[in-house]
Amino acid sequence: MKRTCAFFAVICLMLSAVAVRLYFARLDNFVGGKYTAFDKNDEEISVSISKGYERADISGDTVKSVIETLKARIIKTENVGDITVIYAYSPMILKSVKLHGVTINLMIAKTSDRTVVGSPLIKGSY
């Protein structure tokens, strides 16, 4: 009986740890601004925990602070008109996608007056 109780206690602790990790790996825990989450069908939802996409719209120049806060490694940078788009990987974000064979989980689009951060990619226009 003691072994069974101990086993269930360990399982409960492990599941709690996973739940905490999923909760704190959300983009809105690291980046301010207007937070939006989308499910796999591109429907807006209140919070994205393990599936779907997240987006934060931020005023001002915050690219450097986002990269530092998320301990992200920049994979690729491209310019589309007056927009700079950065693809990166952060060990603090759980969701990821493959882009040309490389794993990314963070996309940042920067214009002159705002920054959009998406995980794993930005949904919608920027």
**Mean pLDDT over all residues of the chain?**
78
Determine the structural domain holding residue 100 and report its residue range: 2-119
What does the alpha-carbon distance between residue 54 and residue 95 come to, in Å, rounded to a whole number? 10
Q: How far apart are the first and last CA of the chain?
A: 58
Residue 28: which of 87, 90, 93 has the closest Cα? 93
Query: pLDDT band at 18, cuts 50/70/90?
Result: very low
User: Is 125 within a domain?
Assistant: no
The pairing of strands 83-89 and 73-80 is: antiparallel
Top pLDDT among 30 and 51 is at: 30
Q: Could you read off the pLDDT of 77-98 as tens digits, one per residue?
A: 999 999 999 999 999 888 889 9
Q: Could you read off the pLDDT of 46-81 as tens digits, one per residue?
A: 665 556 788 888 886 678 888 998 899 999 999 999
Against a cut of 0.75, is the pTM above it?
no
Give the contacts of 102 (CB within 8 A, at least 6 positions apart). 75, 76
Overall number of domains in the chain: 1
